[in-house]
Every structure is written in C-alpha cells, then in structure tokens.
Chain A
Amino acid sequence: DLNFIERPAGMAPSEEEEEEDSEAPVKAKRSKPDEEVVYQPVKLSRSDLYRPPTAEELSQLKETESLFHCSLLKMQMEELLREVALSEHRRQQIDSFTQTVTELLQAVPDSPEVEVSDLSWLSGAVKIPFLLMPKVTKGKFHMAPPASVDLIGSYPLGTCTKPRIVVDLAVTIPADVLHPKDILNQRYPRKRALYLAGLAQYLASSSDIGAMRYSCLHGNRLRPVLLLTPPDSSSFTVRVHACPPPGFFKPSRFHPQRNNIRTEWYTGLQTSQSDSSEPPTPHYNSSVLGDLLPRAHLQFLSAVSSQCSAFAKGVALLKVWLRQRELDQGTGCFNGFLASMLLAYLLTTHRISNTMTAYQLLRNSLNFLASADLTVNGISLAKDPDSTPPLAEFHSAFQVVFVDPSGHLNMCADMTACTYKQLQHEASVSMQFWDNPSVDGFHSLLMTPKPMIRTSDHVFHSVSLFSFCLTSHPHPLVKLQSSCKKLNLLSELMDHSGNYVHAALPFILSLLQQGLGQRVHLLTHSLSPDPEWSVESEAPKHKAQPPLAFGLLLRQELAASVLERGPPADSPKAAEFRQLWGSRSELRRFQDSAITEAVLWDGESMCQKRLVPKQIVTHLLRLYVLYLGTVPSTGEEVSLLVVQAYDDLSRKLWKLEGLPLSITAVQGAHPALRYTQVFPPQPLKMDYSFFDKEKTSRSLVPKEGKPCPTYITPITMICHMEGSGKWPHDRLAIRHIRAAFHINLGELLKKQHNYTCRPCPTHLDVWKDGLAFRIQVAYHREPQVLRESVNAEGLLVVRDNEEAQALEMATIHKPLLTSTLHGLQQEHPCFGSVCRLVKRWLGAQLFSADITEDTADLLVASLFLQPAPFTSPGSPQVGFLRFLHLLSSFDWRNNPLIVNLNNQLTEIKNDFMASRESLPVMFIATPKDKKLSMWTKRAPSVQMLQRAVMVAAESLKILERQLMDGSQTQDVRVVMRPPLDAYDVLIHLNPKQVPLLGQAVDCPAVTFSRGVKTGSVAQSGGALPVIDYNPVTLYLAELREAFGDLALFSCDPYGGTVIAVLWKPKAFVSMPFKTSQVSARSVEVTGEEVNTVPNVEAILEDFQVMGKGLVKSVEARTEKWMV
C-alpha cells in the first residue's frame, strides 16, 4: 500500500489536545504504525450538489472564489493558524503559573544597602548574570520588593504562538534602589543584573518553580533575563525582565549621539579628553532605553490591535514566515515584537486597512518589506517628531532604523544592514512565488524551512574572529581601519560593552561586501543565538559564543570569473584598490589597451574557478574557511570534449552523401551529452597487446585470464530517417531495413571519414577520437506500426504495448529530455555538477537501479526550475543538499512533482488525485508527460522509495551537521558509504573483473592494468576496442532475470565491489504447487497437498555458478533470516 510516506502521520483528531503537552511523547506517537489515511475522490450525492443554496453559503463560496487562488489557500491558512495558536488549556496553565510567580515575587524580602561592587550579600549558589568588566563601578544597591509585576509582550497582546512559548513578565525595580545618574558607566545594567540575581536567590527556595536559567535579551549581555519554568512541564517559559519605574530616566539622555560610558572608566586610563569629545554610545543607550518602554509599547499595540480584528493572526503568520527563514531569533533579529510594530506602522500610515484579513496583512507587510529600504530611509512611529531626534541622527548611529512610538528608541538598533537586506530579499522572493500560480505559495512561504546551509550557495565559518579585530592585523585593509579608526573600534567595543563580535561584525561585513562586489547577490550571516546558562554558573564569556556562519548567494555569471579588473592605474581609486587587495593587485594591460589594476585568481578548471569566492574571502579575512568540495572533481571540461566530438559527428552524418533516404534529425540521447554523466567518458587509446583479436571484423575481444578491460561507454545518438513510401508497413521488415541503414551508414563513414564502424541489427558503433558512439536509426512511424494489429473480425485496432513504449522512450523521449536538459545547463552552469553529485550519491547508496539516471536528472531539474522558496542553486553543494531535502521531505503520496520544463504546465493535480492508486509512487510530471510519469513507471517501488527517503534524510542530517560545525573535518564520503547490515546476502566481487574500480568512493588498494595507453588519444581508424562490456552489469542482469521475483539486487555502478541482496518480504512464504510458479523452488509434500519454497542452497550456489570468475565469495548472513 501507499500510505508509508505520510510519516509524521497517524493522529486522530481526538488526540489533539493531549499531544500538545510535550514534545517527547509526540515523537513516540509519530513513529507508531500509520493509520490508513488515504484520499478518496469526493463523491457528493446529487441531492447534496443541487440543493438550493442559502445566502450565507453563496457569499462564502463567492469570497473564497474571489479572494484566493482557490479556497484551498484560505483553508490552509486557517489550519496553520490553528496549529500555532495556544490552546485554552495551555492558557490556563500559563495564567496560573504567572499568578504564582507574581505572588512569590511580591514577597521578596528587603536587604541592607551595600556598594554595587560588593557581592557578598548574594549567599548560596546563585551568581550574577553579568560580565563585570571593568570590575568596579560606583553606586549603592539593596534588594526590595518590586513596585509592580506586569505581563508584557506577546502574551497579553494575543500574538504569542507555538512553538517556543515565551511569556514576558516585567518586574519594576522600586525607585529607591535606583539613582537618576545610574545610566552612566553600566551602573543601571549592573543593578538590574543584581536585582535579577536577588530574585533568583529568593525563588530558588520555592518548590513551585522548576529549573531556573539566565539568558539575555537578543544576545545583549547588558540585558539579562531570568527564565522560569513550572516544575512539572517545560512547554512554556516565563521570562522575567527587571525594569526601572516608567519615566525614571529622562529619554533625552539616550539620544544616539549622547555618551553614557566614559572612556576613562572603561579603559581605566587617565585621558585628557573632555566630556564633549567622548564618542557616542548609541547601542548602550538603546539597551537602557529599551527597558523604560515595554509597557508603553504594549499599550500602543493593544490600541492598534483592538482596531484591527485580524491583527493577532497577521502577526502570527508573519512570525511563522520569519521563523522559517531563521530571522526571528538571536542578536539583531527581526522578532515577533518588530513584526507587530511593523503591522502597527502599516496600519497607522493607512497602508493597510483595519478590515483586511490575516492573509492580506501578511501579503502587504511582505510587499512593504520588499520595497522599503530601512537602511537608507528609516521609518518612525513617533507622533510628534519635533521633540525627538531626527531620523538622520539615527541613521548616522545605526545601520537599520525603525523608531518606536516614543520617538527616542531605534527598535532595530542591533540589526546589521546585511540582515535587513536578507529580509528584503526574502520578502521580494516570497512575493514572486506568491504571484506565480504554478507555485504552491502556501507551502513555500510558510511551511518550508530555509536554513542557511540550504539557502546560500557558499557557507563559511569564522573560527577566530577574536584575533582579527583587536590587535593590529597584518592585512592592509585592517591596517587602514586600525590606523584611522582604531579609536573608533575601541569606542564600538565600549558601546557594545566588550562584545567584540558584534562590535566588529559591521566592519567585517563591509569588507567582504567590498571584496566580493558584483560576484554576490547577497551576503548573509547567521544570527548568534541567545546564550542560556544556569543561575548557578557564571555568565559565559564573549569568547564562548559559537562561530558565526556567513552565506553567499552567488551571481552565476560573475561568481567564477578569475579576473578582478580594477580602476585605471592613474585614477585616484587605484590606491584604494591596491589597499584592498594588497600584494595580489598588479598592473595589467588589456586587449583594449587599457592599463588597469587587476587581481588574477587561480582557476584552471571549472572546479577551481568555483572556489574563487573562497580565495577572496580567505585573502580578505585570513580566516579558516570551510568549504565543501565536490566529489567528482573536474568533469566539466571532459563533458565539453564529448559534446564537441558529438557535434562533429552529427555534422558529418548530415553531410554524408549516397544515402537512399536523407537524415531528418540527429539527436543525442545520453547523459554525457547533457553534462550530467557522473564520470563523463574520456578519450582513450587502446593497448592492442592486452586483447584477443577478432580477425575478420578487426575488433578487439577481452582476453580470458586478464583483468577486465576498461569500460567504454557507448554514447547513444538517434538518427531519424526521412519518411517515404518505400518504408514497409510491417514491424519485421522495418527492423531489417534499419539494419540495412546501419550497414550503409557504417560503410559511408568508413569510406568518407575513415572511422572504424561495427554495424549490428539494432545499432551502429562508431569509434571516433577515442570515444565510442552508438548510432540508432529511427523511423518515426515505427511505434505506430508496432501498436497496430488486425483482430479476428478484421478490424484494424490500435493498442498500446510495451514494445512500442520502449521504442518511443528510446527514440523520442530520451533525445527530447537530453536536449531540454542541455538547454537547462546553458542557463544554470552548475546544473550538471549537481546531477553528477546526486547520481554519485544514489549509486553509492545502491539506489541506481530504482532512481534511474533520467529520474535523477529530472528531480534535479525541478530544483532549478522551481526553487521556491529558495533561489536556483548556485553551487553543487547547495544543490545536493536541496536534492536530499526534496527526496526526504516531499509528500510523494499526495503530490505530483511537477517539472515545468518549458514553463507551461497547467492543473494536473486533480487528475492525479482521482487516479492516485494506479499511478507510480514517485510521480513526476513534465509538460510532455502529464498523466503517466513514464520515467518512474517501473521504479522505484514503494519499499525502495521509502528506503531512499530514509537514507536521504539521514545523509542530510549528517552533512548539515558536519558543514555547520566548523570543528569537524570535512569528509563528505561518510554519506557515500551505504549501511550494508540491512542486506541478507552479500556477493563480493573480484576487483580484477570490475572495470570501473577506479571510480569507487574509497580509492581501491590495488589497481589493475586495463589495456589503456596513457598520454595519447587514438586517431581515426584502427581496430574497434571492446565497447560496452561490463561483467558486473551482465551478471546483475542475469541475476535479476533469474531471481528477480525472490530478491532485490543492488550494486554501486561506479566501482562497487559488493552486490547486496535483499530477500523480498514474501519470498519465503510457501505456495501451492503451480506450473507457472516453480522457478528455483523445491517441493514439500504433506499428504495430498504440495507446497513449494525457494531452494535457497541451490540459489546461493547459482550465484557462484552464474558469476564464475567474477564472484569472489558469497556471504550469506543467515543470522538475519531463516528458512
């Protein structure tokens, strides 16, 4: 049956409430055997369909028809919102827990007044969540019960969503603990941290609170928070913020140009600077100011939300969208709070109206994000702009500007311009997908996660940023910065209170942007996650932050260029250019006689050229850069050679003179001719002494006792002959005429071009320039003739049959696919490399027989044609990762995979759904093949697809973990080694007789001479080499024909030396004796009943006998099965 693909399935609606409670039991439940959830075509009775409609129903139908692509989208959104909304049960839990916490907090006892730097009153294990650096600051502190405890943030606003439910609780520090001058020199932040520590110490004794942890808001170490969870469940977290009383500090003290940290205090050095020349501390200012305003923000948002009924739902959708793009968490993120503020901004500026639906809110906010550039033209919610600093002042201090309703705070203070650009890019890409009717907008916008590793073409990690930014650096550009901006960087550091990563990040980003220039569309970086630590341990050092990952989205046409042409030597910009590139920059004279500065990167082959961005990054940052190399290393050049040879041959065929009929078309039908052959054929020259010779036809024959000669792939091409009345209307006669054409073509090619040819009834082999081509003559009416027959009544009937389909596949569909994909390769230069990587993986994991080359190429093509929600892959690595994701997460059961090759497919889903049961499990639709999925008709089977899905998911997990973890060594071959323990019998092959041994994943220990002369390429003429002779494939074919209904045989076609055999689940069931079902079976007689079971001993011996000379040993793992 087909229902295996609904893996996370099997939940009856009644279980819904209960399963929300915790994650662990959910997983357990998900893995239980699936229930039967199968789509049945809708059957409405006549009375249901034609009953008179009510007015309400009419309007509902009308709305769904006019508002959305189809009503499906509306329902999908509603379902999604239902999934993320908090249940009533959960709300009650949260309310009662916050009630408990509030009561506890109000009973915090007073403590005597001490110096701020005196921590002795903190008895017990609780530590202060603050990095005390510099150690001392002035001021007095004592604990006192909070002035008030209030809910703030998303929970009271109703925009709190699953997963990661966080409830914010603001605890107001009583006014007598603070002093108006506390804003200076981290005094207030330290008092706040102390106050939190005091609360934690008091709460530690209570049994109503589970494990307590510290964290900090958006990664800002100045703003620690206390995380509380109820003791019995961890499904939500209460985040305790300590705040000053409203209006305690004057907001004007926090304007971006003001300084609130004195250099003298921070560095501990006496300076002669006056107060006025102190550098501004905008980030510090906004972090303190942020504490003053949460209540005001809540009031503002509540007022907006009460006006617009869909506000909460709109925010929820926006949050889901952000979350899938990993933009909602970490330092400088665009979190749910900003999302609500954005919607509020759009509502107050009347860009959206109060009556819009959640769907429209989402669409309009994405539209706004895509078009507005907050890095240049900031926006403000301030009501009276006169009393607050102008936007220009914010722009001079921050990269992204979005001012809050009070007019004093920039809510995007920590966001880098790169992050905003990423947001903009995502929004505009999403809008495109939304408007494209052929893309499932809902799925690509809201349901598909976009982790950086699968989004960016190249990803690298910063391992040692620390050495980079503080000390003077050998690199010229950093010198440039450190010479003129050393003070500036120090002040940045002061402003970020010592967090060097955030202080230096903008500089690094601008350096990279400058160096990569036109090569990249987008430069992104990961947002460092908020650290969390137990209340009983010290706050982690800045050093402990995980390394940042940087992602590049390449501009295909420029990314691989080896030349960086700079300004003319005499222009003033030349100096700048030289400074950027240092010693790599040199003066060059170009063909247009211009003499300019230029940098030339190393790059002989396409494989090396692809790494030019890496060279740039390493050069600029001197970082340890982690890249994933491609496995089949250089192949583009060889593929190109093959295509050139093919073009030459087809030209010569066209020009042949003396054929009885003319040629109407010559088409390639081989993966090598669309750049997707894993190991493209290489021109060879044979060593004649290695072979036996067939004298009469001047051909080489493999010699017994020698290693199997090298494998020469025949490159198939189809030669269509002109239609004519002379063609017979009979299948056998056509077959003979084709043979005659093969002979004729061979003779002419020999005579006119001196190619060695070998005609056969089915094809003509041509040995040309060290490559073997296999020409098949085709007659366009032959499939039709094969389909026709005359039945008993003398009626001419046309019936489809396998023979005709196979012929059409070979002579029509394959050449068409080849030329289409060849076109795709011209458009996306890395298409071929992705295909080859993918097919290498499929081969290594023993799936080659099930997911055929053509299927794999089509799957990869779909990644390029419909990249939603991503952009087309720009590097083999990211393409491969996305392929694994596609294979493992696509809902094969319920959806056809549409490969829109010429961008002209319409609705096929309904046809698909109506006849789902009779269609292949893996259904791939192309414009030429909408209803049958001919490429996947035979394979994969349900079981093999299931296994492929599983292995792909596992490989993806391993690869992503390796790639995102900078410390591990990069050996991608881990995912190329299949687990063999699942198989029942292993047939080990003799490496001597495996011709493709050299292509194995792990380089073989011994190599054999295979009759190839190195270093030269054969000229035309000469003896015909051994073409298409591979004992392994011959053996596999014989095994499958003999035992195909008992077992599955799989082998890595690229140098695998093991054939893995898996008994079919029903192979050993005993069957009644039937003359049509006794193959390889022995009988068991009980009374008059005769049953048969497979004769396993004899079968195992047959494995040996049939593969004599090739098989080294047969390893039967009898512990796995019993007969």
Chain B
Amino acid sequence: MAPSKKRHASDQTCVIPGGFTVLPLQFSADSAAQHDLYVKEHKVRAATGSHRPLDRTLFVLNVPPYCSQATVRELFSRFGGVQSVELRDHPGSFQESGPELTEFFKPAEKKGFKVGYVVFQSASSLAAAKSHPHDVPLVVCTEGRPVRTGVQKWIQQYAESFIQPEELQRMVDSFLEDYDKRKVEAEERQKKEAEQQEEDDEGWVKVTRGHNGAKARPHSEAANRRTLQKEIRKKKRKELINFYTWQHKNTQKEHIAELRKKFEEDKQRIALLRAQRKFRPY
C-alpha cells in the first residue's frame, strides 16, 4: 500500500499547498516505511522574543516519538549549523516557564508525535532544508549515531533515573535559596510601592498602576463572593415569610407546582422505561 500522493513537481522537492515541504524520514537504513516531516519557515504576525528569530527558524511537524531533541539537532545539522531545537506537543508561542528547573523536577513529558522549532545559525540553512529532495530520506538511526528504542531504552531510562541523595539535596537547596531570594525581592518591591502610595509632605498621594498592574495585595475571588453572600443573608433576615395572605397563597401554589413537576418527571421516566421494555418481568 504505497500512499498514492500526487507530488507537485517533477523536480525533487515536494511542496504541498500551504507551503510545507515534505521531508521523508525513516528509522534506519533498512526500514521499509517512511514518515513524512512537514517543514516551513516559522512565521508569526507578532514577533515575540528572541527565541525564534523569524528568518532562521524552521517549523517542523510530525516528529516521531523516538526522535529526541539531540536526534533532531543531528538530523538537521546536515543543512547547516543548528543553534537550538525546541520540541513541543502542540504548535504555539514560546512560553516563559518560571525559574529554571533541573531534569528531575520537571513534570514527565509526553512521548507522542511532536512539533519542532529548529533555529539555524544562518538563514541559508533554512532554504537548504526547504529544498531538500523528496527521494532522499532522513535516517534517524545510523551506525555512527545509534538511537536506542525498546528494551535497551527502557533499561537506560531506569539506570538514569537514579540520583544520589546528596546531589538531590543540592538541587533542592539551590532552588530554595533562589526562591528565598526572589521572595525577598518581591517583598521589597511591594514595600517600595506601598511607600510611594503614602502621602508626601503636602498631603498628596501618588496613584500609579503599579508593577504589572498588580495591587499590593491581590484580593481574592472567594472574598468577593463572601461579601456578596453576606449582603444577601442580611436582606433575607429582614424579610417576613407567610405574613401576608398573598404570600401564604403563593407557598401553597408553589407546593402544588412542585408536586406536579415531580409527577411529570416520574411520568416521563416511566414513559422512557416503557419504551425500553423495562417493565417486563421476564
């Protein structure tokens, strides 16, 4: 079953509508089947940050699970020097991810197919990748560059999961040190903001938006809700129940309506069960 693809051109590069170039990829030299990588230059409207320079970043789709970051770097280095590789589960903008974490404290990664952002050192490599001939597949696992899968990989993973308690302790300590430092900084910042809001000599208060638009102390949603409920309760306490005749009548009416509603619900439930023959005791 060869996938019957209408290749665009008789020349060797295969570009599909949408601008993606198809790069075939196979696991090893003697593989019978190929996956297709879909590559395109990275393009976004609002350029954010310097992590993905627009002219040098290649956007790669459909990276198989056995390709690690290092493997992808190796694969694409045939087109020129690779500066960085970023693999993600879904395409999306780069996210600043808090303080730097060591390998052991990162949450487990998903091992499915990925999308990649390959940043080359020069813009020319981008073009080279995009014009790569379709009949020359990229090979993941070669003799010079073996990629472990299956039992070998799992044993390696198991062995690598060990960490010396001392080393772990060191990681914890350095993180906490860092954390404390950040906390102190944040406190100082808050203090400074609070100072700014105090009256000056002439009785004026300087009102600013503050850092990141945040107030000195975040008020919580729960607190808002509590206040609202307090109000409602206060109102209720003042109300008289069954005091006027019309109120009494209304409660009775509500009661009958309630009974009726229940009756109707039951009737409907029965109708449903009857439709399913749920009353035949045999």
Contacts and interface: CB of A to CB of B under 8 A. Distances in A.
Contact of B17 (A44, A48, A1090, A1106): A1090
Interface in B52-95: 61-62, 64-66, 90-91
A930 B93 CA distance: 39
A50 B257 contact: yes
A301 B18 CA distance: 87
Interface in B145-160: 149-152, 154-155, 158-159
Interface in B2-55: 3-8, 16-18, 20, 22, 27, 31-36, 38
Q: What are the 6 tightest A-B residue pairs by CB atom distance, in nearest-first order?
A: A1108-B150, A1109-B151, A1079-B113, A796-B220, A1097-B33, A49-B257
Contact of B261 (A49, A702, A1098, A1111): A49
B268 A732 contact: no
Contact of A1031 (B66, B151, B165, B266): B151
A1085 B264 contact: no
Given A701-B159, A794-B213, A1041-B112, A79 B281 contact: no
Interface string B228-267: 0000000000000000000000000100110111111111
A320 B213 contact: no
B65 A760 contact: no
B115 to A, nearest CB: 7
A1086 B20 CA distance: 15
Contacts of A808: none
A1080 interface: yes
5 contacts: A761-B168, A796-B220, A1035-B150, A1083-B16, A1085-B16
Interface stretch (B120-128, B187-195, B199-207, B272-280): B272-280
Nearest to B59: A1075
A1123 B1 contact: yes
Contacts of A740: 169, 172
Interface of A is mostly: mixed
A1101 B27 contact: yes
Interface of A: 6, 8-13, 30, 35, 37, 39-40, 42, 44, 48-50, 53, 58, 61, 64-65, 70-72, 75-76, 79-80, 82-84, 162-163, 320, 323-324, 446-447, 692, 694, 696-697, 699, 701-704, 708, 728, 730, 732-733, 735-737, 739-740, 743, 746-747, 758-761, 790, 792-798, 891, 894, 910, 913, 993, 1026, 1029, 1031, 1034-1035, 1037-1038, 1041-1044, 1073, 1075-1076, 1078-1086, 1088-1090, 1093, 1095-1098, 1100-1102, 1105-1111, 1123
Nearest to B253: A50
Contact of B61 (A1078, A1108, A1109): A1078
Contacts of B176: 733, 736-737
A1098 B27 CA distance: 10
Given A732-B175, A739-B105, A760-B161, A1108 B281 contact: no
Say what secondary structure dominates the interface of chain B: mixed
B220 A795 contact: yes
Contacts of A793: 213
A323 B112 CA distance: 56
A929 B148 CA distance: 44
A39 B268 contact: yes
A6 B278 CA distance: 9
A975 to B, nearest CB: 26
Contacts of A1073: 16, 18, 20
B179 A61 contact: no
A331 B71 CA distance: 79
Contact of A70 (B64, B150, B262): B262
A993 B150 CA distance: 11
Nearest to B256: A53
Given A75-B270, A1106-B66, 14 more contacts: A44-B261, A44-B264, A49-B260, A79-B274, A83-B281, A699-B162, A737-B172, A740-B172, A761-B104, A1075-B61, A1085-B6, A1085-B7, A1108-B152, A1111-B150
Contacts of A162: 282
Contacts of B154: 1029, 1031, 1034
A71 B35 contact: no
B162 A694 contact: yes
A708 B154 CA distance: 11
Contacts of A1093: 3
B144 interface: no
A794 B215 contact: yes
B164 A1075 contact: no
B17 to A, nearest CB: 5
B18 A65 contact: no
Contacts of B163: 697, 760
A1084 B3 contact: yes
Contacts of B4: 1084
Contact of A792 (B38, B104, B175, B213): B213
A1082 B115 contact: no
B111 A1038 contact: yes
A747 B166 CA distance: 11
B115 A71 contact: no
B43 to A, nearest CB: 12
B240 to A, nearest CB: 22
Contact of A1105 (B1, B20, B111, B149): B149
A866 B222 CA distance: 40
B1 A71 contact: no
A1111 B154 CA distance: 14
B33 A8 contact: no
For B20, B104, B281, the residue with the greatest tally of chain A CB atoms inside 10 Å of its CB is B281
B5 A743 contact: no
B220 A1098 contact: no
Nearest to B101: A732
Nearest to A799: B221
A728 B262 contact: no
B146 to A, nearest CB: 11
B36 A1095 contact: yes
A758 B150 CA distance: 25
Nearest to B212: A794
A884 to B, nearest CB: 20
A732 B260 contact: no
Contacts of B259: 61, 65
B181 interface: no
Contacts of A8: 276-277
Given A1076-B90, A1079-B113, A1111-B150, A1097 B16 contact: no
A702 B158 contact: yes
B226 interface: no
Contact of B62 (A708, A758, A1081): A1081
B3 A1095 contact: yes
A544 to B, nearest CB: 27
A738 to B, nearest CB: 9
Contact of A1041 (B17, B27, B65, B266): B65
A1085 B5 contact: yes
Nearest to B37: A1078
Given A732-B99, A736-B172, A1083 B219 contact: no
Contacts of B91: 1075-1076
- Most chain B CB atoms below 10 A, which of A12, A703, A1080: A1080
Contact of B279 (A79, A324, A1102): A79
Contacts of A1081: 62
Contacts of A447: 278-279, 281
A24 to B, nearest CB: 15
Contacts of B65: 1038, 1041-1042, 1102, 1106
A1029 B259 CA distance: 60
A417 B112 CA distance: 67
Nearest to A1072: B18
Contacts of B155: 701-704
A730 B36 contact: no
A320 B259 CA distance: 30
Contacts of A1079: 62, 112-113
Nearest to B40: A1075
Contacts of B64: 1042, 1080, 1102
A75 B266 contact: yes
